Amino acid sequence: MNWTSIMEQTIAQLIASAIGAIFLTWVIPKILHKKTEIKETKSKSINLFPIAVFITSFFAILSIFGFYYQWEKFAYLAVITIVLVMATSWIYQRQCPNCKSVFENRRTNTEVIKKEQRTYHYRPLTIYYYSDGTEKNRQYDKHEKTRIENIEIRRDYFECSCGHKWWSAPYEVNLNLESRPKPNKVKTQIRNPNGFDAGINQDGF
């Protein structure tokens, strides 16, 4: 590693730390909040969320610099950032707003605020495979189809062992998402020109 690379990474780390601190002290408190029933109890747990936000921001900025300067370990930084984003999101969803505990609370109820129906537009998809099982090509039907899907707007309620109660922001659940039409898969007798196939050597379906 030459001096230029060392300076680039050092500057990147300093900038990442600064931006992470900004997100931690100003941006995150502005955009994230939870509706709560406030109870005057002392917080005894470590607040993991701002720590997770700072670490995630740090690696996110390093990943940006790694991509820009084409660092050899950019792929590792990107994977670490994705994992940290998921972990930070989980901590935020699970953390008690009062005592900051992540593991001492539970969901007590889920309320269905609203039910509605939406039209889902799609074109049937057929996927063709070579005789060795690798994908050959995809073909969408020329005619669009529609179907009605049922949507529920829900809100979760939580309670912590410290006695604090709160509820989540409303979120959507598509009750028919799993039953959406699946692609039609067709295996052909065409050999893969880019691979080895000792099976059928005649072309056709």
Please give the average per-residue pLDDT across 173-201, as a whole number. 82
Residues in Cβ contact with 162 at an 8 Å cutoff, skipping those fewer than 6 apart: 39, 41, 44, 96, 98, 99, 101, 104
How far, in Å, CA of 52 to CA of 147, rounded? 42
Residue 114, φ and ψ in degrees, nearest 5: -155, 145
Q: Chain centroid to CA 92: how far? A: 14
pLDDT > 90? residue 45: no
Burial classification of residue 131, based on how many CB atoms lie within 10 Å of its CB (0-12 exposed, 13-18 middle, 19 or more buried): buried
Residue bearing tokens 């607040």:
47
Residue 117: the pLDDT is 96
Domain-by-domain residue ranges, the chain?
Answer: 3-103, 107-187
Please give the average per-residue pLDDT across 143-156, as a whole number. 95
Residues in Cβ contact with 202 at an 8 Å cutoff, skipping those fewer than 6 apart: 189
Distances (CA, A) of 200 to 56, 62, 185, 187, 204: 52, 51, 19, 12, 10
Please give the average per-residue pLDDT across 179-184, as a whole number. 93
pLDDT digits (tens, 9 = 90+) for 160-177: 988 899 888 899 999 999
Q: Is 107 left (phi over 0), alpha (psi -120 to 50) or beta?
A: beta
Residues in Cβ contact with 166 at an 8 Å cutoff, skipping those fewer than 6 apart: 34, 35, 36, 37, 96, 97, 157, 158
Residue 6: the pLDDT is 47
The strand pairing partners of 105, in sequence order, are 160
The whole model's pTM is what?
0.56
